[in-house]
Chains A and B, each alone.
Chain A
C-alpha cells in the first residue's frame, strides 16, 4: 500500500508567527499538543468535547475548538492562540490586544478559566468584520454564544466586545 498509516508523526506548524515542530502520537488532540508538546498553556482545556469553547484557537485565521482537532490535522497550518494576541511594543514589552484591554477595562473576567477562549473568539470576530459597521446585539450573541462562562453572566463580556469594537474602529 502506498499510503502511510502511522501511530506517530512529526508535524510542522506556525504558532503565533513562530515555526514549531513536534513529534506526537496521532491521537494527540491539538489542545494537548499546544499545552504539553509546545508549552503554550494559555489555551485552556475545559469540557474536552466541544461544548465549552475554552480551548478555542485560530487555525488559518478561523476559530476552531482545539479539543476537536487532532494535532496531525494542523500539520502545515498557521495557529494563533491567546499568547499571540498581544503584540510587541518595539521596546521589549508587549501591548495588549484591544479585546484583552477591553476585558480588563470592563471586568469581563472573574476566575479567568474561560477567558482565553473568549479572547481568541472575539478577536477573530472583530478582526474579521468591517470595523466601521454597526455592531448589533445579535452579532455579539452569535460571537460569544458558543463559549461558556459561569462567573460573569455575560453582561460585562458583551460590554467588553462593544468596548473593543469601538477601540478598533477608532484605530482604523
Chain B
C-alpha cells in the first residue's frame, strides 16, 4: 500500500468533524482528495488521521446572489461547469469561476475534486486559488469556537500552506461578483490540456460610464509562491476601451511578477507568458466589459 498508515473517520456532521479533529493529533480533512491522495501515495504527507467530510450534510450548496457566489466545501469542480442547479446563476454573477474551472485538471478528476479543497490545498499552481485572489474572495472556516471568515491575503502563507491551524474545516469559499461595467477572462498555457499550467492568467477590466478603463486587475497561476493580485491600471487607466494598449499592461505585468523556473519552463519563459497571456486575456475581457457598458 502506498499511503503510510493512518486512521480514518467519516463524521456525519460538522460538529462531529470538529470533535474528531480536536481529539486526534495530526488529523487532516479529506474532501475530494484529488490533491491529497497523490501526496499520501508519494508519502509527501503522512497525517495520523483522515477526517472525511463527504458525509457532512449541507456542504454541497452553491449560492449565487448579487454580492457574489458562495461555493460549499463539497461542490465538485464539474458541478460549477453545469452539474449544479445554481451553476448558470453562478456563472452570471462571477463568470471567472466557470472559465477557470474549465482549466482544472481532467474531467475524471473534476468529478471528484472540489473548488474549496483546492483552495485549502493552497497550491500556487491551482486555478481556484488564483481566482480567489483575483476576485478578492474569502473562505469561511468552522472551528470549535465558531465560524470565522478569512480573506485570501491572510489565508495563503506559502506553497501548500495556509494560515489555518488547529481543528478547522473550511466550509465554503466566497467569490465576490464581477463588478458593473466589467469583463473577465482566464487563459492558460499547459503542456497537455488539464495538466498543471506552465502559466495561467486571469484578469478583470472595469470601465467608467464613458467606457474609459478605470481598473485592471490580474492574477496568475504557477507564478510565485502564493497567489497574488496585481493592479495593472497604471498602464492603461483613463484610456477609452477601444484604444487601450493591452500590450503595455502585459509589459507592466512582467515587471511585477517573480516566477521560478523548473523542468517545464524557465523563469524567463514564464515571465514572457505572463506578458502574452495578460495581453490576450485583457483584450478578451475588454470586449465583455464594453458589452456590459451601454454606449
User: Chain B's nearest CB lies how many Å from the CB of A74?
Assistant: 11
User: Is B159 located at the chain interface by the 8 A CB criterion?
Assistant: no
B54 part of interface (Cβ distance < 8 Å): yes
Complexed CA–CA distance, A26 and B52 (Å): 11
Among B5, B9, B33, B109, the one with the most A-chain Cβ atoms within 10 Å of its Cβ is B109
Say yes or no: B108 contacts A146, CB within 8 Å.
yes
Do B5 and A143 touch (CB < 8 A)?
Answer: no
Alpha-carbon separation in the docked complex, A50 to B113 (Å): 11
Distance of A110 Cα from B100 Cα, bound (Å): 35
Residues from chain A with a CB closer than 8 A to the CB of B49 are: 5
The answer for the CA separation of A19 and B220 in the assembled complex, in Å, is: 47
- A145:B193 contact, CB within 8 angstroms: yes
- Among residues of B, the one whose C-beta sits closest to the C-beta of A60 is B111
With contact pairs A27-B5, A73-B52 given, residues A1 and B108 touching in the complex (Cβ less than 8 Å): no
Interface residues in chain A, defined as those with a beta carbon under 8 Å from any beta carbon in chain B = 1-7, 9, 25-29, 32, 48-51, 53, 56, 62-65, 67-70, 72-73, 121, 141-143, 145-146
Secondary structure at the B interface, as helix, strand, loop or mixed, is loop
B38 within 8 Å of A (CB atoms): yes
Query: Nearest chain B CB to A11's CB is how many angstroms away?
Result: 11
The one of A5, A29, A73 in contact with B2, judged by C-beta atoms closer than 8 angstroms, is: A29
- CB contacts (< 8 Å) of A69 on chain B: these are 33, 37, 112
Tally A-B pairs: CB < 8 A.
112
Determine whether the beta carbon of B9 is less than 8 Å from that of A6.
yes
State how many residues of chain B have any CB contact under 8 Å with chain A: 39
7 A-B contact pairs sorted by A residue (CB < 8 Å): A7-B8, A29-B2, A29-B41, A50-B105, A63-B111, A65-B109, A146-B108
The residue on A at minimum CB distance from B52 is A73
Q: How far is the CA of A86 from the CA of B189 in the complex (A)?
A: 39
Query: Which one of B8, B34, B112, B192 has the highest number of Cβ atoms from chain A below 10 Å of its Cβ?
Result: B8
B265 at the binding interface (Cβ < 8 Å): no
Chain B 155-172 near chain A by CB (<8 Å), digits 1 or 0: 000000000000000000
| 9 further interface pairs, Cβ-Cβ under 8 Å (given A6-B8, A70-B52, A73-B54) | A2-B19, A7-B6, A27-B6, A63-B108, A68-B34, A68-B109, A143-B107, A146-B105, A146-B194
Nearest-neighbour CB distance to chain A for B188, whole angstroms, equals 14
**Cβ 8 A contact of A32, one of B1, B6, B40, B42:** B1
- A-binding residues in B (CB < 8 A): 1-12, 16, 19-20, 23-24, 33-34, 37-38, 40-42, 49-50, 52, 54, 105-109, 111-112, 192-195
**Could you tell me if A3 and B8 are in contact, using CB atoms closer than 8 angstroms?**
no
| Given the contacts A26-B8, A53-B106, A65 and B2 also touching, CB distance less than 8 Å | no
Please name the residue on chain A nearest to B37 by beta carbon: A68
Q: Which residues of A contact B105 (CB under 8 A)?
A: 50, 146
Partner of B1, one of A2, A6, A29, A50: A29
Kindly state the separation between the CA atoms of A53 and B9 in the bound complex, as whole angstroms: 28
**Minimal Cβ-Cβ distance residue in B for A8:** B8
Report how far A142 CA is from B82 CA in the complex, Å: 15
**Which chain A residues border B111 with CB–CB below 8 Å?**
62-64
Residues of A within 8 A of B192 (CB): 145
Tell me the complex Cα distance, A141–B193, Å.
Answer: 9
CA distance A73 to B107 in the complex (A): 19
The 8 residue pairs across chains A and B that have the minimum distance between CB atoms: A146-B106, A26-B8, A49-B38, A63-B108, A68-B37, A5-B9, A62-B111, A27-B3
Cβ A145 vs Cβ B109 within 8 A:
no
B34 touches A5 (CB 8 A): no
Contact B19 A50 (CB under 8 A): no
A3 engages B11 (CB within 8 Å)? yes
Contact yes or no, A7 B7, CB < 8 A? yes
> CA A70 – CA B4 in complex, angstroms?
13
- In angstroms, Cα B102 to Cα A145, docked, is 13
Q: Are A1's CB and B112's CB within 8 A?
A: no
Cβ of B4 and Cβ of A27 under 8 Å apart? yes
Residue of A nearest to B36 (CB): A68
Question: Which single residue of chain B is at the shortest CB-CB distance from A148?
Answer: B192
CB within 8 A of B7: which of A5, A73, A146? Answer: A5
